[in-house]
Amino acid sequence: MRPADLPAPLPAAPHDDAYDPYDAERPLLARCGCGGDHAPQQHNGLAALRAAQQPGPATPSVQRADGSTDPEALGRRFIEASLVKALFPHEPVRRAFLRAVGRRSAMAAIASVLPAGALTSLQAMAQEKKPLEKKELKIGFIPITCASPLIMAHPLGFYRQQGLEVSLMKTAGWALIRDKIMNREYDATHFLSPMPLAISLGLGSQAMPMNVATIQNINGQAIVLANKHKNNRDPKNWKGFKFAIPFEHSIHNFLLRYYLAEHGIHPDTDVQLRVTPPAEMVANLRAGNIDGFLGPDPFNQRAVFDEVGFIHILSREIWDGHPCCAFGVPTAFIESNPNSFAALYRAVLTAAAMARQPKDRELIAKVISPAQYLNQPEGVLTQVLTGKFADGLGNVRNVPERADFDPVPWQSMAVWMLTQMKRWGYLKGEVNYKQVAEKVFLITEAKKHMKELGQPVPEGAYKKFKVLGKEFDPARPDDYLKGFAISKAA
């Protein structure tokens, strides 16, 4: 009666899986996961659930699946198949149901009635089994070393490995990145890490739910001053200085303001902060229009290389391990393309893990320097990424952790950024710091994917850290905010 030998797996389901309970086009062959010839009841005690089941005839495809899949995964899938079988004892009913509602809705509906304990793993596996909703993705980036993982994943083939066809779109500025992701011209993008918080809160734009999937890089910025200030390195004397920053909602802005304020300089009244694209920072420094900038690499090193400025301090000397850029997506993209998003996640995390390795840094400098990516001299990028660099004062410094690539989107960092937004008047009124941080920074997702990729997964979500020697307690952001001498917050 039943077609015993189905020829080949259907194109929609790439896994040759005889136990796939969500496939309306083929019969559910729930046999024992161990591959033995006994009934499954004897094997795993699911007798009650499988009371109505009538074991189908053995088919070659079952044996193939038995041989090629690891027993544990196969076992779990078998349990899921058995559960579905129990819900739909009558085979034509199951298949009619699936045809009517579709695979995903069926999965969600079944998940809502199955015992909770079994579900997480089953759902996670079901996610992986599903095909990518969107294979051709457009990802925006700004040509700076902060975007290294996102960029290197392209020439090194990490996107293709996940079945994605990614076009990396070089973009002229952060405001344009914001506009293009909000217009849905880009599917995902390189962000300054405070930007998704600002966009989600509707600061400087309409509000649109945005997520940080990973932090792209940590450290990797610097305060660069014009050569004429070589003998004026005490921030207390910097009244009247003009500084360039890349964007208002940037860690650069917050770090520079923090640094100046700690030295008694009010960033709003004592100095001028100008939003300037990085390439123009170097040109403005050369022309004498600005006294310095806190900007992204490679432009710090480029200023040294072009002999127009020197590195005053690295940003890691303000906050070691601070986040800088992030990889983000609109929440709506995740909801409508969960599998493509997961694939993208895996690609970027793989790249980040590679970028962390000091031994790979020279290769990375090589692959991201061509004109279609950073368009910078390779030697400058090597200095930035390896941390062995000329500082513009005649010294060769060796700081291997000058730039690093820890992808964990710590929610405590989001809380810190929100305190600074509030401190400088970008964000007004009551803020539920934790709620915003948890909505925007996807640390649970990141950890899940890191675990799947076999990467070390850290504990917790609210890592503590110090900024200029002062500890930040993410549990008490308001007290922290009150502790500053220079602040615009009420």
Distance between CA atoms of 431 and 435, rounded to whole angstroms?
9
Distance between CA atoms of 188 and 137, rounded to whole angstroms?
8
128 vs 165, beta carbon nearer another protein:
165
325 vs 380, beta carbon nearer another protein:
380
CA distances from 163 to 153, 158, 343, 347, 360 (A): 13, 9, 8, 10, 24
103 vs 154, beta carbon nearer another protein:
154
User: How far from each other are the two terminal CA atoms of the chain, in whole angstroms?
Assistant: 77
53 vs 221, beta carbon nearer another protein:
221
75 vs 173, beta carbon nearer another protein:
173
Distance between CA atoms of 214 and 326, rounded to whole angstroms?
6
Residues composing the chain: 490
194-201 vs 433-440: helix axis angle to the nearest 10?
Answer: 110
Q: In whole angstroms, how close is the CB of 257 to another protein at the nearest point?
A: 26
Q: In whole angstroms, how close is the CB of 329 to another protein at the nearest point?
A: 18
Q: In whole angstroms, how close is the CB of 170 to another protein at the nearest point?
A: 4
Distance between CA atoms of 305 and 338, rounded to whole angstroms?
44
In the block, tokens 């945005």 appear at 210
Q: In whole angstroms, how close is the CB of 385 to another protein at the nearest point?
A: 13
142 vs 342, beta carbon nearer another protein:
142
**Binding footprint of another protein on the chain (CB under 8 A):** 143, 167-172, 175-176, 179-180, 182-185, 277-280, 282-283, 286, 302, 304-307, 370-373, 375-377, 379-380, 383, 388-390, 394-396
Q: In whole angstroms, how close is the CB of 137 to another protein at the nearest point?
A: 12
Q: In whole angstroms, how close is the CB of 285 to another protein at the nearest point?
A: 11
Where do the DSSP E strands lie in 315-392? 325-330, 388-390
Q: Are 153 and 360 in contact (CB under 8 A)?
A: no
Q: In whole angstroms, how close is the CB of 119 to another protein at the nearest point?
A: 39
Distance between CA atoms of 453 and 448, rounded to whole angstroms?
9
Secondary-structure percent of the chain, ordered helix, strand, coil, rounded to 5: 45, 15, 40
127 vs 395, beta carbon nearer another protein:
395
